[in-house]
Structure 1
Amino acid sequence: MLLRTGSLYAQPQQSVLRPAGVQAANIAKLWDISLIVCGIVFALVLLATLVALLRNSRQASGAGQAAGPPDLSSLARPEHRTRALVIGASVLSVFVLVGLIVADVLTDRALSKLPVDDPVRIDMIGAQWWWQAAYRAQDGQGGFVTANELHVPVGRPIVVSLQATDVIHSFWVPNLHGKKDMLPGIDTTIEFRADQPGTYRGQCAEYCGAEHALMAMLVIADPPEHYAAWVARQTQSAVQTGDAITLHGRDVFERASCANCHTIRGTSAIGTTGPDLTHLMSRETMAAGVLANTPQNLAAWIRNPQALKPGATMPAVPLSDDDRAAVVRWLSTLQ
């Protein structure tokens, strides 16, 4: 998925093998250790199987004839060498498994030791099938709500409070941390730190219904000055414009069912069922990563969201072509 022209980062990443934070780096090290150990064990098993096949004890009856019956004489005499090999392999397997457990425990301890002084605090809510992110007031700035996209400052710890409104979801941004379940009625937290600027794709990692695969998010790690500028814009209300068609689109939005589900600060729209749209066009994607956030895709989404994301709770909004175009024109000003 390529992001819109003008973004700081052109290509989002989603890979556990390219850690961009200290926790993801620790998880990647554990993965490397596990891969090497399991690869060696797999190779030894294949080697043992090959040796057993080459030492087939069946006796050939002659050229071009089928092999004779197996040689079972070993059943009547002890095989001390084979027994020693089996015991040695079993003991070695125990040590290897204990070693992997120790590596797992040490990794878990390393993950829990992230300093969380002066963190950015975000309340993340997972719903079928989108994400709501509420940034708490801090650093002299008021709080605000956005959706399906997080901006975080590079080098600063992030503490995310996780909740679910309907079924079990799971917060997972593999470049930054492991998975953390989001359980209805139970609050949990996840802490991470992005050490490299970039755009990282996240995904719900717990099957949560028909559109589970289309429940994605972007985490954009900005240099501190870019992050501060983004926060300053997000805390502002929607910009009002004097263009007649645009104002007509705002009026249609407020009169239609749109205002019952969405909030746009600075207008009469105060719905909470759907995403906050105050700064809709500042986001790279829409519908939780399904579409690039463009006016054309926005019009198609308003016309028939079920065609683009079957099962989404947003209904088709019955608007005339002119009214829909006016609404899209107004929404396109919400930077």
Structure 2
Amino acid sequence: MRTARASHKPARFKVRLLGAYVAFALATISRSVDAESTAPLDYFLHAGGPAARPTMHLGWALAAIAVLVTLIVGVLLVAAIVRKRPLNAEDSLHADAGGMRWIYIGTGVSSVALLAILVYILITLERVASPVTHPQLTIIVTAYDWWWKVDYTDDSNPKRNFSAANEIHIPVGEPVRIELKSADVVHAFWVPQLAGKTQTIPGQTNQQWIQADHAGVYRGQCSQFCGAQHAHMAFEVVAQSPADFNEWRDSQGQPAMSPANADNVSTGGAASVANGKRLFADRCAGCHTIRGTDAQGLQAPDLTHLDSRRTIAAGALSNTPEHLLDWIQHAQQIKPEALMPDIALSAADAAALSAYLATLH
């Protein structure tokens, strides 16, 4: 009896383990559904624009075919196991002939199905190759280890030329051409609800187009393993009405507001902001740019309008004063091997730098 009870322990442990895993998975899914911005794989089965919809339908079709083939193979395997073998040599010959007939039929059906799938794939590729109307807006996105540089250019009005980071704004209902580059290794640009994946390759410019049918925030992700912080290389596409987009673009093209004119700087806090600006020039300007100041670094994100962004560190943290200071002082703990170093700050320096960065609307 003791041995019998012991034999059931591994089984009970496996059941408990499976139950814990299912509970964890359900809790994770629940949190992701409630979250404002979720991981790409939580919603790649839903399309938010014409560049993604044909691909979504193709994915559903291929998944259905794969499930059907699996079921058919499973049924045939069970039938082969259950079916009795021939009792004599003559019956065995007849059975072999019947078995070959099934192989011929299966090969023919599979060939037709694969040909149909190939045609469907080619049709889908043609549908998503280019938009119906010519894109009026082109955005240049350059992938770095591990963040995204976003350049807006306007040949007719250089004042509307600027760089952002990890946040792409587009007008709703209009196709947008994305030119993709890489500054270091191969990455992959993927906004699952708006388009498929396109690689960014060093020394090469690839193109993709995206379009959002509705206003909202669409999360993107690097989907090509590119190093230690590949999973922390996210970005967001913010779709706005054309009027809101133009207003946003005009404001982003402006240089940083002088701290003396910033709305959130009180008379008593002006000295702290000035100290923070000097601290930024000494410690951060070698890598970061703030347009309208002497900070002209080219190796890290442009921070001219930092306070207007939803996230920092390529989606690793929400953009709050607390998270921003945490990132500045503990970047290597949050994203090990990132080029952003840990910066030691006294309490007074941290307060001054935070006050200055809060003026970058």
Normalising by the residue count of structure 1, what TM-score does the alignment of the two structures yield?
Answer: 0.89
Aligned CA distance change for structure 1 residues 181 and 71 (closer, same or farther; 3 Å): farther
- Residue 77 of structure 1 and its aligned partner are, at CA, apart by 4.0
* In the alignment, structure 1 residue 299 sits paired with structure 2 residue 325: yes
- Residue 318 of structure 1 and its aligned partner are, at CA, apart by 3.3
Cα distance in structure 1, aligned partners of 2:226 and 2:196: 18
**For the Cα contact (< 8 Å) 1:131–1:147, is it kept in 2?**
yes
Q: Which residue of 2 aligns with 1:187?
A: 205
- Residue 303 of structure 1 and its aligned partner are, at CA, apart by 1.1
* In the alignment, structure 1 residue 225 sits paired with structure 2 residue 252: no
**For the Cα contact (< 8 Å) 1:12–1:199, is it kept in 2?**
no
Q: Which residue of 1 aligns with 2:71?
A: 43
* In the alignment, structure 1 residue 21 sits paired with structure 2 residue 38: no
Aligned CA distance change for structure 1 residues 23 and 71 (closer, same or farther; 3 Å): farther
Amino acid at match of 2:136: P
Cα distance in structure 2, aligned partners of 1:211 and 1:244: 38
Q: Residue 248 of structure 1: which of 275, 279, 292 is its match?
A: 275
1:265-315 CA distance string (max 9 Å, x none): 111100010000000011111000101111001111111210111001011
Q: What CA RMSD, in Å, does the superposition of the two structures yield over aligned residues?
A: 2.0
Cα distance in structure 1, aligned partners of 2:314 and 2:146: 7
Cα distance in structure 2, aligned partners of 1:71 and 1:320: 91
Q: Which residue of 2 aligns with 1:166?
A: 184
**For the Cα contact (< 8 Å) 1:12–1:198, is it kept in 2?**
no
Q: Residue 130 of structure 1: which of 140, 147, 155 is its match?
A: 147
Return 5+ residue gaps in structure 2 as ranges: 1-27, 29-34, 261-269
Q: Which residue of 2 aligns with 1:95?
A: 112
Q: Number of matched residues? A: 316
Amino acid at match of 1:114: P
Cα distance in structure 1, aligned partners of 2:183 and 2:201: 8
- Residue 167 of structure 1 and its aligned partner are, at CA, apart by 0.7
Cα distance in structure 2, aligned partners of 1:118 and 1:53: 59
- Residue 320 of structure 1 and its aligned partner are, at CA, apart by 2.3
- Residue 321 of structure 1 and its aligned partner are, at CA, apart by 2.0
Amino acid at match of 2:251: R
Cα distance in structure 2, aligned partners of 1:56 and 1:127: 62
Secondary structure of 2:285's counterpart equals helix
Q: Which residue of 1 aligns with 2:305?
A: 279
Aligned CA distance change for structure 1 residues 116 and 320 (closer, same or farther; 3 Å): farther
Q: Name the structure with the higher helix share.
A: 2
Cα distance in structure 2, aligned partners of 1:174 and 1:191: 12
- Residue 316 of structure 1 and its aligned partner are, at CA, apart by 1.9
Amino acid at match of 1:152: I
Secondary structure of 2:52's counterpart equals helix
Aligned CA distance change for structure 1 residues 236 and 53 (closer, same or farther; 3 Å): same
Q: Residue 216 of structure 1: which of 228, 234, 244 is its match?
A: 234
Amino acid at match of 2:258: Q
Q: Which residue of 2 aligns with 1:81?
A: 98
1:59-117 CA distance string (max 9 Å, x none): xxxxxxxxxxx866544446443332221111000000111110100000001131352
**For the Cα contact (< 8 Å) 2:160–2:249, is it kept in 1?**
no
Cα distance in structure 2, aligned partners of 1:139 and 1:25: 34
**For the Cα contact (< 8 Å) 2:154–2:160, is it kept in 1?**
yes
Amino acid at match of 2:197: K
Aligned CA distance change for structure 1 residues 11 and 304 (closer, same or farther; 3 Å): closer
Cα distance in structure 2, aligned partners of 1:11 and 1:306: 24
